[in-house]
Structure 1
Amino acid sequence: MSVGESPVEARPRRRASRALRFTSILVAVLLLLFGVPWWTLIAGGNDWPTPVLVTGTIVVAVVFVAFPFLMFAGHGRNHHDVPAKIADTTLGVVWVLFVWSILGQLLTAVLWLAGVGDPARYRIATVVVTLIALVLLLWGYAEAMRVPRVRRLDVRLPRLGRDLDGLRLVLITDTHYGPIERSRWSRGVTEVINGLDPDIVAHTGDIADGEVSERRDQAAPLADVRAALARVYVTGNHEYFSGAQRWVEHMASLGWEALHNRHLVVTRGASSLVIAGVDDRTAAGSGVPGHHADHEAALEGADPTLPILLLAHQPAQIQGAVAHGVDLQISGHTHGGQMWPFHYLVRLDQPVLQGLSHHGDRTLLYTSRGTGFWGPPFRVFAPSEITLLTLRTA
C-alpha cells in the first residue's frame, strides 16, 4: 500500500476492479454467444438482401441487449418467474445456435474445398445449422419435460450383509423445481418411484430454484413417495441460493429424513446399513449457520463394521468418502452435461460426468444425470433419469 492510501480507500478500488473485470468477461462471453450465430446465419458470406440483413441484425441486437437484464430480473435477488423463463429459454436456444454455428463454419470450409462458390456454400451451411438447431431444440425440450426413464443397475458391495442382498435403492436428484410449473411432472416422478417398490429412496439435492413458499406445490408430491426402509435427502448447491435450512425443514415435514451431516441405520433381518449424508461442498461459504460438509459428524458413532451408503450432492466430494471408508456414494449435480458439448466443461470441475465409477480401494460412486433440469428447458445428448440401484453382496 502506498503512503497515504488508507485500507478504506483500497477496498472500494479492489471491488470496482473486480466488478469491471466481471463485466468485461460477461460482455465478451455474450458477444461470442450471440456474435457467432449472427455471423454464420445472417452476416458472413450469405449475401442476403439488405432488408433481411438489417432485420436479422436488429433482432439479434435487441435479444443481446435484453438478455442480461432478463437474466438478472429472473435469477437475481428479487427474482421473477416470467423473465427467468424467457432468459433461460433464450440461453438454451443461443447455446445450440452458437455450437452448431461453429460447426457450420467448418462446413463452409469443406464446401469451399469441394469447389462450391459464394454465396451458395454459406447459405447451405446456414440452412444445415438452422435445421439441426431446430431439431435438437424440439427434441431437447421434449427430453427435458418428460418424466425420466428408469436407469437400472446392479451394484456389488462386498461388505453388504446377506439379508440386504437385493436391496432396491431409488435415486432422484436435481429436480430443480423452478419458474416452469411442473407439479404434474413431479406427480409423474412419484408414480414411477412407487412403481419400483423401493426399499430406500434418496434425493441428493438441488431440489428447487426458489424458496419453499414459491415451490411448495411442485415439491408436494414428494410426500407421497413410498419406501420400505427410508426416504433420505441432502442439500445441493442450489439450496444455498434458496433458503437451505427452510428446505431441510420442509423435507422433514414431508416425511423425509434430512441427513444434515448425520446418519441413520436401516436393518433387514440380521443385516444393517449405515445411510449418511453431508451438506454440499458450497455450504461452508454460503453464510447459512451450521451448514458445511462434515464427514466426521455424519459418521460419528456409526459402527465401522457396517457398510456405508453416503449421499453427497457433488461427485467432487468423493475424496471425503474415500478417506472415511464409504462403500457407495451417490451424487448428482452434473446433469450429465445437460446440453452438449457442455459435458466437457463439467469435466473441468468434476471427476465424473455420470454412471458408476471406482475410487480408492473400496469406494464406489454413482453419479446420476439428474431427474430434472436447470435453467434452459432442454436436454441435448444427456437424458434425465430416475435411477434404480439394486445392491448385491459380493
Structure 2
Amino acid sequence: MSVGETVETEPRRRRPGRAIRFGLIVTAVLLLLFGVPWWTFIGSGNDWPAAVQVTGTVVFAVALVAFPFLMFSGHGRHHRDGPAVIADTMLGVIWQLFVWSIAGQLLRLVLALAGVDAPARSRIATAAAAAVAVVLLVWGTIEARRVPRVRRVEVTLPRLGRGLDGLRLVLITDTHYGPIERSRWSRGVTEVINTLDADVVAHTGDIADGEVSQRVSQAAPLADVRASMARVYVTGNHEYFSGAQRWVEHMASLGWEALHNRHVIVTRGGDSLVVAGVDDRTAAGSGVPGHHTDHEAALAGADPALPVLLLAHQPAQIPGAVAHGVDLQISGHTHGGQMWPFHYLVLTDQPSLQGLSRHGERTQLYTSRGTGFWGPPFRIFAPSEITLITLRAG
C-alpha cells in the first residue's frame, strides 16, 4: 500500500441519512436542469398563446418525471438498452438546453438594456438559445459517432533506454460499448489502430456499460488489434457496474494482458520497460473480491532501475504513481469533458482534463479524451481520440 493510499477490502455500507441527502441533491439538480429551460422557452416573458404554454409545460413536466425512472431502468442492475438510450439522449438534450437557456437569459438582459421591447426580446433570446442548442446537438451527434482521429504525442522519458527509443504506444480508453449498437464503429477503431504499427496497445478501462454477454459483439474486434510487443488492459470504474472480473477474463480470452495489479516487461535492443496496471480507484468499494488499487502488487518483483509505464483509469490516481516513482501514467475517464461546459465540473474531481502534464520530479501523466462516449450520445468541444504516443529516450 502506497503512502497516502487507502486499500479497502469491503464495500462501504450506505447510511440512511446519506441516501436521503443524495435524494434531495438529485431532486434539486433535476428541478434546475428542467426548470431553467422551461422558464426560458415557455415562460420568461415570451407571452406565448395559452395552448403553447400548456403544451410546453406538460412536455417538460412529463420529461422531468420520466427521466429518473428511465435512467434507473436503463442503467440499473438489468441494463435495459431501450430505456438507457432514451434517458441518455434526454440527459444530453436537457444539458444543452440548460446551458443555452442561461446564455439566452443573459441575451434577454442585453436586449432589454438595448431598448428592445417585450415580448420581442424574450422571443429573440429563446430562438437564439434553441438554435444554438440544436446546432450543437446535431454536430455533437456526428462527433460522437465517428471513428476518432489519431492524436500524435511524443513523450520523453529520461530513464528509457536507447533500445526502446521510438517505441510506439497506442492508447484507447472509455470505449463504453453500450446500449447503442456500435460493432461497426468498434471495427473501425481496430482498423485505425492496425495502421499505426504499434509496439504496445493499451486500453485504460471503461470498456463497456453492460455485461460481457450483452456487449460481446461490440468488443469482438479487439481480438484483431495488432501490437508487436503487448496488448494490455486495466479496469475502469464502469466495469464495477457490470461484471468487472468477467471483463478481465474476457479481455484475456481476446488475447489482451489484463493488468490486474500486475506488470509485464517489454524488451528491445537490450533495454526494458515495465508496463504495469492497477485497478480503478472505485474497485475497493465495489465488493468484487480481490479488486482494489495496489501499486505495490503491480510493481512487485520489478527492477527499480527500469522505467515504468503505468495504466490507471483515472488521472486522480496519479499520487500513487508519483509515490512509486512511475515515469509515465496513461489514463482516460474524463472524456475531455465530453459536453461543454461539463469540462469545468470534471476538473473539480480530476487533476487533468486532457493531454500531457507533469507531477513531481519524475512522473508524467497523459490523459486521453477517450475513444467512445458515455451516456449522452454527443461530444461537444471534446473530440474523441485514438492516441499514438511515441516514447523518446532522454
Aligned residue in 2 for 1:233:
233
For 1:95, the aligned partner's letter is: W
What is the distance in 1 between the residues matched to 2:108 and 2:365? 43
| Residue 66 (structure 2) pairs with residue 63 (structure 1) | no
Aligned residue in 2 for 1:3:
none
**1:302 partner SS:** coil
Across the aligned residues of Structure 1 and Structure 2, the Cα RMSD in angstroms comes to 0.9
CA distances 1:113-159 after superposition (whole Å, capped 9, x unpaired): 11111001000001100100000000001000100000001110111
Q: In structure 2, do the counterparts of structure 1 residues 276 and 16 end up closer, same or farther at CA, with 3 Å as the change threshold? A: closer
Aligned residue in 1 for 2:250:
250
Aligned residue in 1 for 2:381:
381
What is the distance in 2 between the residues matched to 1:83 and 1:106? 35
| Residue 328 (structure 2) pairs with residue 328 (structure 1) | yes
For 2:130, the aligned partner's letter is: T
For 2:381, the aligned partner's letter is: F
What is the distance in 2 between the residues matched to 1:25 and 1:160? 48
Q: In structure 2, do the counterparts of structure 1 residues 16 and 360 end up closer, same or farther at CA, with 3 Å as the change threshold? A: closer
Aligned residue in 1 for 2:183:
183
Aligned residue in 2 for 1:362:
362
Which has the larger displacement, 65-74 or 20-29? 20-29
Please report how far the alpha carbon of residue 342 of structure 1 lies from its aligned counterpart in structure 2 after TM superposition. 0.6
Aligned residue in 1 for 2:138:
138
What is the distance in 2 between the residues matched to 1:102 and 1:131? 14
CA distances 1:33-59 after superposition (whole Å, capped 9, x unpaired): 001001001111000111111111111
Aligned residue in 2 for 1:305:
305
Please report how far the alpha carbon of residue 195 of structure 1 lies from its aligned counterpart in structure 2 after TM superposition. 0.4
Aligned residue in 1 for 2:34:
34
For 1:379, the aligned partner's letter is: R
What is the distance in 1 between the residues matched to 2:292 and 2:63? 39
Higher RCO (CA < 8 A, seq sep 6+): 2
* Structure 1 segment 159-178 matched on structure 2, within 5 A: 159-178=159-178
What is the distance in 2 between the residues matched to 1:329 and 1:282? 18
Which has the larger displacement, 196-205 or 76-85? 76-85
TM-score (norm 1): 0.96
What is the distance in 2 between the residues matched to 1:109 and 1:305? 63
**1:238 partner SS:** helix
For 2:310, the aligned partner's letter is: L
Aligned residue in 2 for 1:156:
156
Please report how far the alpha carbon of residue 76 of structure 1 lies from its aligned counterpart in structure 2 after TM superposition. 1.1
For 1:184, the aligned partner's letter is: R
| Residue 118 (structure 2) pairs with residue 126 (structure 1) | no
**1:195 partner SS:** coil
Aligned residue in 2 for 1:7:
none
For 1:51, the aligned partner's letter is: A
For structure 2, list consecutive stretches of 5 or more residues without a partner in the other structure.
1-13
What is the distance in 2 between the residues matched to 1:16 and 1:228? 52
What is the distance in 2 between the residues matched to 1:19 and 1:359? 36
What is the distance in 2 between the residues matched to 1:45 and 1:250? 57
| Residue 319 (structure 2) pairs with residue 319 (structure 1) | yes
Aligned residue in 2 for 1:221:
221
For structure 1, list consecutive stretches of 5 or more residues without a partner in the other structure.
1-13
| Residue 104 (structure 2) pairs with residue 104 (structure 1) | yes
What is the distance in 1 between the residues matched to 2:92 and 2:244? 27
What is the distance in 2 between the residues matched to 1:44 and 1:328? 52
What is the distance in 2 between the residues matched to 1:287 and 1:15? 17
What is the distance in 1 between the residues matched to 2:349 and 2:131? 32
Aligned residue in 2 for 1:89:
89
For 2:298, the aligned partner's letter is: A
Aligned residue in 2 for 1:6:
none
What is the distance in 2 between the residues matched to 1:128 and 1:215? 40
